[in-house]
Structure 1
Amino acid sequence: MSEPATNPAATSFPVPTISLPLGLEVLRTYSGALVCLEILFGGLVWILVASSNVPVPLLQGWVMFVSVTTFFLSSAYLALLITGLADRINTDWNFLDVTYHFLALLFYFTAFVLEAATTAANGGVSIKPMLNNSDTLLHITNPWGNIVTNLTGNKYSINVAATIFAFIVTLFYGCSMVMGFRRWRKAT
């Protein structure tokens, strides 16, 4: 008698590789805490940029895209770890963690630079009244760069805060990437 044929689809997938604990225990690790901080501060960047009414849509549109996308992806990643569904998906979660955090670090760094450029461009144009004999003339100076924003004091402060928080989130993603890389190297 011959042996029964095995289903190749059932035996071709590796077991999931994950070094982080599943369930609520993940929140007790540095990586879990960093993901929570990425979500919290990334949400703040999203809220702050949106509340500034996006004065330079070309630059701040990318900042909004990055902050919203990474907010939802980090939330989904944390939800997979907390619910334990990551153990049911057959993939190398350590490699996926490093790859995701590297891409998020890269995107958030570009978002930080663009948000800083938008904030720094404030005051590029100065309009000063010049008193004449009977008429008031306006003297307009040209900006230094290509980006010109005219933000009120409140909007400028909001953009400064968004720039600072974008830098902090960039650091969080960098720390998560380094920690994930160490876990991945240990597992392989």
Structure 2
Amino acid sequence: MGHLPTGCGICTTIPDILYLPELIFGGLVWILVACTYVAPANPQAWVMAVSLFCFIVTFVWVIVFACGTHYNKSSWAAADFVYHFVATVFYLSASVLLAYITLALGTVGWSQIYKLDIAAVVFSFVTTLLYFIHTILSAFRWRSF
């Protein structure tokens, strides 16, 4: 865990193996929120912004590691930790907000939109957990440099 992976190593090393589930679950949050009705007073725009931001940056991060342009430096390990910490905080705030909005709109009944919102909440908290685990493991890797 004391080195940064290159190439296909991102699919076999810890914590980098978490990139794929982060992309999958983050993409599901993005898609599910995009499929729901967003009223002007509804703050799901923050959830959408966080999920899109994290999806795009995580994808770029995977490409950087896969291409090997990071040269195994300590500053990249620190940047990896900082990014995942910021993503965890953003996703936690978005998950709590999405859960609150889903509960507030849940008084209407079990409509299709409400079911999509529930799925988005679940996937949002799973994504938050993945980013949190990745943050902890990235901190260990950074400290071992």
Which is further off, 100-109 or 52-61? 52-61
Alpha-carbon separation, structure 2, partners of 1:29 and 1:81:
12
- Residue 76 of structure 1 corresponds to 60
Give the count of matched residue pairs: 144
- Residue 111 of structure 1 corresponds to 94
- Residue 102 of structure 1 corresponds to 85
Q: CA deviation at 1:70?
A: 0.3
Kindly indicate whether the alpha-carbon contact (under 8 Å) linking 1:56 and 1:118 is maintained by their aligned counterparts in 2: no
C-alpha RMSD over aligned residues:
1.9
Ranges in structure 2 where 5+ consecutive residues have no aligned partner: none
> Which stretches of structure 1, 4 residues or more, deviate above 3 A after TM superposition?
55-58
Structure 2 residue 112 is the aligned partner of structure 1 residue 154: yes
Ranges in structure 1 where 5+ consecutive residues have no aligned partner: 1-17, 125-149
Larger radius of gyration: 1
Alpha-carbon separation, structure 2, partners of 1:155 and 1:28:
38
Amino acid at match of 1:181: A
Q: CA deviation at 1:35?
A: 1.1
Kindly indicate whether the alpha-carbon contact (under 8 Å) linking 1:104 and 1:173 is maintained by their aligned counterparts in 2: yes
- Residue 182 of structure 1 corresponds to 140
Q: CA deviation at 1:55?
A: 3.7
Alpha-carbon separation, structure 2, partners of 1:86 and 1:155:
43
Tell me: higher relative CO, structure 1 or 2? Use CA pairs within 8 A at least 6 residues apart. Answer: 2
**Which digits, 9 at most, give the CA deviation of each residue in 1:7-56, with x for residues without a partner?**
xxxxxxxxxxx822211112111322211111110000000000013246
Give the structure with the higher percent helix. 2
Return closer, same or farther for 1:28/1:103 CA change in 2, 3 Å cut-off. same
Alpha-carbon separation, structure 2, partners of 1:161 and 1:56:
21
Amino acid at match of 2:104: A
Amino acid at match of 2:53: T
Identity %, equivalent residues: 35
TM-score normalised by the chain length of structure 1: 0.71
Kindly indicate whether the alpha-carbon contact (under 8 Å) linking 2:74 and 2:142 is maintained by their aligned counterparts in 1: no
Amino acid at match of 1:176: H
- Residue 136 of structure 1 corresponds to none
Alpha-carbon separation, structure 2, partners of 1:65 and 1:151:
27
TM-score normalised by the chain length of structure 2: 0.91
